[in-house]
């Protein structure tokens, strides 16, 4: 992510000034027209691959916008959609004419639909529903049709509410039976009591959801409309309304609050996009990227159902004072539910920086409270974790990922390590500059990536420091969520034959594009100043390529050694996004390959393949991947209580066999660096963070195999 000089915004200014003629607009409509013009001009003049706006693209934008407005198909009927469909092939004309008439119509229509929904759910939840009928609902809203008319919409709502109430009843019944095993005084409530309680809670939740929808500012609804246009260009181009832009600015500083999880809107859910290293939820250990939050409780209070909440509203419940407890009920990717208690804390910025440790190759197993050494891998390995590629373009005294990784290498070399593991798992990227510099720490000076934009064509970008800071055995760890800058480093070191890349069965995420942020306020002046704030646009302006001439876009980086994982049979990554930019190629850059490592690489790959065939833990992952794949498909949820209970019981039973599959029972030796020990003497918080981090490293299955690979490379 980069920021461009204001000169790149000058083409936008002309379009904005044209809007001055539309004085028949009211202030709100005038502001929307100005924003529309600015976004239009940005897309048509600065996007890497501008599109011709035509009837076909108009229809795509219309469908995307309808899904955004009513993902669960609970507001609109097909009659409503048919009425709005008059504009289905006219949005291209509206784009060029800066005509916001369709937005006005759709905004009024969805507002009416939301009001209608309140009457429907209030009436339905006033008395018990029928949970004995053989009925079912499709779990994936995308596969549902809009209700034909108002009567059909009531039936659609009834199915929706039944599913939610049955889920509540099931969870409460399961919890009370578990409590009764250890507390004889627990009162076992019957179905009628559980149903009444669940229905009352659902009414409260729906009312809160309705109130939250009413709180969404019109400018944010307008932002949804503009993003239907933006996302028709590519999935990473988007308009950010003023409040969203402010939140984005905060996230770019690396300052995080609360539990330390990056959240995203995942349809009707609040999804976990990433876990921030060193944060409260990272230390707790159970929350994972891909989880969906379905309820939030303050300590031992009753949980608030957050299905249907926007991220910003969920954050209000999740954030809180340091030291207090929040309990998240999450839905895992395999369909199981889990309650995760997290003690809130301030997420120290230091926790997101590069950090290192020494893995001494000793493996221990605890027997009768005594640790017994069971294996000596035979190498002393340096381990560097890089959570993201951070850089501060404005303050040279602040942290820089490349400088920090270099310093960690120097410290590890001073301790006499035999090899280094660079861990880029779950690293979604960041600074392109930091990526090229980090790749250059391990190999000679030259191009590390090629970048193409609409202004200057294709050019190579490399490291500025000619010194090689580590020339020994090197393993780079990646996974499905390693993206962008992580893929640049992995690809550069792979193309130069400098490191063994170890990761998932398929590839990394596959994001090969670069975005820039443009503040729309900086593009207007004079009479238009009164309309500020206008928000910002994040727009794809560049695409990067491997130095070999290939691309990571959609293809990702395919590892040299693939380790079985939980999500091997689920399609993940950039290729799953609509309108992702397609694969193309450029000429090979001029660089030297380090072929001297090839014989050792081949031997290490062969020996790893032999270990994987017999490793019981990795065999379990293959079975787990099969189960997740089968359970992640679109499902028909039974709305008969007995059938619903049977299905949920089977999911819980199947999930138990894979509990704690990521955690090894023995422990590898982890040694703190000397500067860590000095820090621990005066900083008990950091000592606690590192102690828990060391424990997680010691039981990490992928790191354990990486130690074996480093050992193979030293032979």
Work out the percent of the chain whose per-residue pLDDT is above 90: 56
Omega into 671 within 30° of 0, i.e. cis?
A: no
The whole-angstrom separation of Cα 250 and Cα 713 is 43
Torsion 321-323-329-334 (CA) sign:
positive
Q: What confidence score (pLDDT) does residue 633 get?
A: 61
165-188 residue pLDDT tens: 999 999 888 888 888 888 888 889
CB 522 within 8 A of CB 495: no
Q: What confidence score (pLDDT) does residue 19 get?
A: 46
Q: What confidence score (pLDDT) does residue 489 get?
A: 98
The mean pLDDT of 262-283, rounded to a whole number, is 81
The whole-angstrom separation of Cα 339 and Cα 175 is 11
The whole-angstrom separation of Cα 57 and Cα 90 is 10
Q: What share of the chain is helix, strand, coil (3-state, %, to 5)?
A: 45, 20, 35
402-429 residue pLDDT tens: 999 999 999 999 999 999 999 999 999 8
CB 492 within 8 A of CB 448: yes
- DSSP code for 145: P
Dihedral, CA atoms, 540, 545, 551, 557, nearest 10 degrees?
A: -100
Work out the percent of the chain whose per-residue pLDDT is above 70: 91
Q: What confidence score (pLDDT) does residue 295 get?
A: 92
The whole-angstrom separation of Cα 680 and Cα 674 is 10
- DSSP code for 527: G
CB 679 within 8 A of CB 691: no
Q: What confidence score (pLDDT) does residue 112 get?
A: 96
Q: What angle do helix axes 218-230 and 27-46 make, rounded to 10 degrees?
A: 20
Fold agreement between 257-343 and 355-512+551-713: no
Q: What confidence score (pLDDT) does residue 351 get?
A: 58
CB 419 within 8 A of CB 379: yes
- State whether residue 262 is helix, strand or coil: strand
The whole-angstrom separation of Cα 496 and Cα 104 is 55
184 contact partners, CB below 8 Å, separation of at least 6? none
Class of domain 355-512+551-713: alpha beta
Torsion 516-519-525-527 (CA) sign:
positive
594-637 residue pLDDT tens: 889 999 999 999 999 999 999 888 888 888 888 888 776 668 89
Report which of 4, 213, 211 is spatially closest to residue 224, judged by C-alpha positions.
Answer: 213
Q: What are residue 367's DSSP bridge partners? A: 370
Report which of 417, 425, 462 is spatially closest to residue 441, judged by C-alpha positions.
Answer: 462
- State whether residue 270 is helix, strand or coil: strand
CB 351 within 8 A of CB 689: yes
Higher pLDDT, residue 663 or 309? 309
- Per-residue buried b or exposed e for 484-498, using 16+ beta carbons within 10 Å of the residue's own CB: bbbbbbbbbbbbbbb
Higher pLDDT, residue 348 or 221? 221
368-399 residue pLDDT tens: 666 778 888 889 999 999 998 887 654 555 56
Q: What angle do helix axes 485-495 and 432-440 make, rounded to 10 degrees?
A: 30
The mean pLDDT of 21-32, rounded to a whole number, is 69
Mean residue pLDDT of the chain comes to: 87
Task: Give the number of other Cβ atoms within 10 Å of residue 673's Cβ.
Answer: 19
The whole-angstrom separation of Cα 715 and Cα 438 is 26
- Residue-by-residue DSSP string for 330-397: EE-TTS-EEEEEEE---B-GGGGS-EEEEEEEEEEEEETTEEEEEEE----EEEEE---B---SS-TT
The structural domains of the chain, with segments of one domain joined by +, span: 51-232, 257-343, 355-512+551-713
Higher pLDDT, residue 634 or 189? 189
Q: What are residue 297's DSSP bridge partners? A: 327
- The Cα angle at residue 269 between residues 266 and 273, in degrees rounded to 5: 50
Torsion 383-387-393-394 (CA) sign:
negative
The whole-angstrom separation of Cα 464 and Cα 485 is 17
pTM greater than 0.85 (yes/no): no
Class of domain 257-343: mainly beta
Q: What confidence score (pLDDT) does residue 635 get?
A: 80
368 contact partners, CB below 8 Å, separation of at least 6? none
The whole-angstrom separation of Cα 92 and Cα 85 is 14
């Amino acid at each position: 992510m980069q920021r461009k000089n204001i000169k790149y915004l000058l083409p936008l200014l002309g379009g904005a000034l044209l809007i001055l003629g539309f004085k028949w607009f009211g202030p709100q409509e005038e502001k929307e027209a100005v924003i529309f013009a600015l976004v239009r001009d940005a897309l048509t003049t600065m996007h890497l691959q501008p599109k011709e706006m035509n009837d076909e693209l108009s229809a795509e934008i219309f469908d995307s916008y309808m899904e955004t407005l009513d993902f669960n198909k609970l507001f609109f009927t097909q009659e409503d959609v048919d009425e709005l469909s008059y504009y289905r092939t006219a949005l291209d004309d509206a784009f060029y004419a800066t005509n916001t008439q369709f937005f006005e119509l759709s905004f009024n229509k969805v507002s009416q639909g939301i009001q209608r929904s309140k009457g429907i759910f209030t009436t339905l939840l006033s008395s018990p529903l029928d949970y004995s009928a053989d009925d079912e609902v499709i779990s994936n809203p995308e596969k549902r049709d809009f209700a034909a008319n108002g009567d059909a919409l009531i039936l659609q709502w009834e199915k929706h509410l039944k599913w939610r109430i049955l889920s509540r009843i099931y969870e409460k019944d399961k919890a009370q039976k578990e409590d009764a095993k250890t507390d004889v005084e627990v009162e076992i409530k019957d179905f009628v009591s559980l149903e009444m309680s669940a229905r009352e809670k659902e009414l409260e939740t729906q009312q809160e959801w309705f109130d939250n929808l009413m709180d969404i500012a019109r400018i944010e609804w307008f932002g949804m409309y503009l993003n239907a246009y933006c996302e028709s260009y590519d999935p990473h181009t988007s308009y950010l309304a003023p409040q969203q832009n402010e939140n984005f600015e905060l996230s770019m500083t690396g300052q995080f609050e609360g539990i330390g999880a990056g959240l995203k809107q995942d349809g009707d859910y609040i999804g976990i996009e990433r876990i921030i290293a060193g944060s409260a939820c990272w230390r707790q250990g159970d929350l994972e990227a891909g989880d969906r939050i379905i309820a939030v409780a303050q300590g031992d209070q009753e949980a608030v159902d957050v299905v249907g909440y926007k991220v910003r509203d969920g954050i209000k419940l999740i954030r809180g004072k340091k030291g207090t407890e929040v309990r998240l009920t999450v839905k895992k990717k395999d369909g199981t539910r889990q309650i995760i208690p997290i003690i809130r804390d301030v997420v120290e910025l230091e926790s997101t920086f590069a950090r290192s440790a020494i893995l001494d190759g000793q493996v221990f197993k605890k027997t009768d409270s005594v640790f017994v050494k069971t294996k000596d891998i035979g190498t002393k390995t340096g381990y560097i974790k890089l959570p993201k590629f951070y850089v501060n373009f404005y303050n040279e005294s602040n942290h820089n990922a490349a400088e920090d990784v270099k310093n960690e290498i120097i410290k590890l070399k001073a301790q006499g390590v035999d090899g280094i593991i660079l861990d880029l798992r779950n690293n979604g990227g960041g600074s392109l500059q930091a990526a090229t510099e980090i790749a250059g720490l391990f190999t000679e000076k030259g191009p590390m990536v090629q970048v193409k934009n609409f202004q200057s064509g294709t050019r190579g970008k490399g490291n500025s420091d000619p010194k090689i800071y580590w020339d020994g055995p090197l393993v780079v760890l990646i996974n499905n969520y390693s993206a962008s800058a992580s893929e640049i480093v992995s690809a550069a070191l792979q193309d130069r034959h400098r490191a063994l890349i170890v990761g998932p069965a398929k590839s990394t995420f596959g994001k090969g594009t670069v975005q820039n942020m443009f503040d729309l306020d900086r593009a207007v002046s004079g009479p238009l100043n009164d309309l500020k704030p206008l928000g910002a646009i994040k727009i794809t302006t560049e695409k990067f390529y491997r130095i070999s001439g290939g691309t990571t876009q959609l293809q990702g980086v395919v590892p040299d050694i693939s380790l079985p994982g939980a999500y091997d049979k689920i399609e993940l990554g950039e290729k799953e996004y609509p309108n992702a930019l397609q694969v193309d190629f450029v000429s090979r850059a001029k660089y030297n390959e380090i072929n001297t490592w090839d014989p050792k690489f081949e031997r290490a790959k062969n020996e790893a393949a032999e270990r994987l065939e017999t490793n019981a833990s990795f065999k379990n992952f293959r079975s787990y991947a099969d189960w997740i794949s089968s359970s992640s498909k679109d499902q028909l949820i039974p709305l008969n209580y007995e059938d619903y209970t049977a299905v949920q019981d089977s999911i819980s039973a199947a999930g138990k066999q894979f509990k704690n599959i990521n955690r090894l029972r023995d422990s590898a030796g982890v040694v703190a660096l000397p500067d860590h020990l000095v820090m621990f003497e005066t900083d008990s918080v950091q000592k606690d963070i590192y102690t828990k981090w060391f424990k997680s490293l010691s039981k990490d299955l992928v790191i354990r195999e990486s130690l074996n690979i480093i050992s193979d490379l030293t032979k």
